[in-house]
Structure 1
């Protein structure tokens, strides 16, 4: 029996985090003792791993790495945890995506460099071919892919009746959704999971574009009992965006998340986690 997979299209990256050992001396213009840790990252890869770890029997990731040490490390690391690498393309002469962060001794971000150029070079035709061959029952893509790739995903999945989920990734990357007519059509993308800042930026974009704004149908927001103020504040924005993407899952950090469509509004409080139980929050927003 053929089981249709979950297909994730998006970024893989090597996360390199340097944490200084002491806070007394300046860390500028010199080397300083500390710890350096390398981990598998990338929004698309994080989503795929989370799906695999929560019971997904067939999860496939479509992405790219360079022909370098970072790319080899990522592929080996994915195989070690049981992730499928069939659709990870190795691009000759390109650098694998790397996120390099410098943290203070208490774990706060001091500075970071993100080299993600390779992800914008993912080939739209190859992705369309994978979708057609795999016939997934669900597809998720992240904001690292180009707007042209987003357009092709929306068109192909619409023609094959495959529901599509968009993980915005960041404020600037979230706005790629509105670059092409095909991705702004109601229900071409069925689900989206912005945080409060991405949601705000998306709604500002709608209000600033006369062609987008005229499609909005006013919806009276229902009351949210026992929900924090942040959830109540983002509700009108989520209802606005639901004119274009019918199901909105807004991530509110420590305040939980809010699910909105044009007939249902539901607030989900966060699970209680004690501080000593937290190992790292990196990638938590992707999952």
Structure 2
């Protein structure tokens, strides 16, 4: 590789979607010269395709919901039909957006594809997500739509009592609007998506994903039905008890029933299944390993976002080529850090913090 080619690769690592003219201006050479160097880098296998996707720099595409989380919490038992004293707070949320932020905090190169309105919430979401390290340039900014919001009410135990989501804007994320991101999706090292996507968007995603592994978050029992036609193309699926039972049609009231549910999903084509079963822990299953990982013993402040942190940990573990049992333990440490934070995403989450939490949880299990 020539010195000039090394300079170009360095600039592309900083900005994989940089225009050729901007490259030329920074290097002080002509645009045609830049094009020639890029062609040689593609021939040598250092660049995989359009968009300057680098062969030695795998990245994650997170595709799905982004919204502002409005959380109401009470220190006393919630009383239906009455005004409950408590605290109200706002924080960036949305399943795919949360996963992307957590992955970025772990050190992954993550690109977010979603839609937000050109409004106060939308601009705040983009700013905070970018500040966390996520590439938000693929986000669709719609001036004639309102940014998604998610309203949740919590009792003194931190558990969600009820929630309402207003995510109509995601219906605008159709095949036509996703088309400009085709190369970005095709060359990703990993795709993480959520069932907030419409049937049309999911069909587009699985048509473009090719051999790239797709990790899917089911979001809710209602929205989980959207992914049924695509179960055979999902690499890793992370449903909770209600979502898994709704999709499989099998009972999941007892821990002993988890293996049968996992077998059903594998029969549909799902490679890895991670069942999140609240206080019973996590049941994980793949062609090579299956078993239980107990729920971490932590002081729960807020349950919103913990499942998204779990998925981010699973994705990070896969990127590091960890076996599923090890990836599950790391993912639970991500969730534990999030459970102990009032915000939807823990701003102190990092690879070092997760590794420390893993050690803490292992010690707690042994004591």
Q: Distance in 2 between matches of 1:27 and 1:240?
A: 39
1:246 aligns with 2:266: no
Q: Distance in 2 between matches of 1:230 and 1:128?
A: 44
Number of aligned residue pairs: give it: 251
- Quick one: which of 228, 242, 249 aligns to 1:204? 249
The structure with the greater share of residues assigned to helix is 2
Alignment correspondent of 1:233: 257
- How big is the shift at 1:104? 4.3
1:166 aligns with 2:219: no
1:152 aligns with 2:199: no
| 1:84-233 to 2 correspondences below 5 Å | 84-104=135-155, 107=158, 109-133=160-184, 135-158=187-210, 161-178=211-228, 180=229, 183-184=230-231, 186=232, 188-204=233-249, 230-233=254-257
1:286 aligns with 2:308: yes
| 1:31-70 to 2 correspondences below 5 Å | 33-56=85-108, 58-70=109-121
TM-score normalized by the length of structure 2: 0.62
Asked which structure has the greater CA Rg, the reply is: 2
TM-score normalized by the length of structure 1: 0.78
The structure with the greater share of residues assigned to strand is 1
Asked if structure 2 preserves the Cα contact closer than 8 Å seen for 1:258 and 1:265, the reply is no
- How big is the shift at 1:113? 2.4
Deviates more, 1:97-106 or 1:61-70: 97-106
Query: Can you list the C-alpha shifts for 1:166-213, whole angstroms capped at 9, x where unaligned?
Result: 1111111111112x4xx25x3x222211112111111129xxxxxxxx
Q: Distance in 1 between matches of 2:276 and 2:159?
A: 21
* Unmatched runs of 5 consecutive residues or more in structure 1: 206-228
Asked if structure 2 preserves the Cα contact closer than 8 Å seen for 1:99 and 1:115, the reply is yes
**Structure 1 residues 154, 99: closer, same or farther in 2, change over 3 A?**
same
1:12 aligns with 2:37: no
**Structure 1 residues 104, 194: closer, same or farther in 2, change over 3 A?**
closer
**Structure 1 residues 204, 23: closer, same or farther in 2, change over 3 A?**
closer
Q: Distance in 2 between matches of 1:16 and 1:156?
A: 34
Alignment correspondent of 2:296: 272
Deviates more, 1:68-77 or 1:252-261: 252-261
Higher RCO (C-alpha 8 Å, min separation 6)? 1
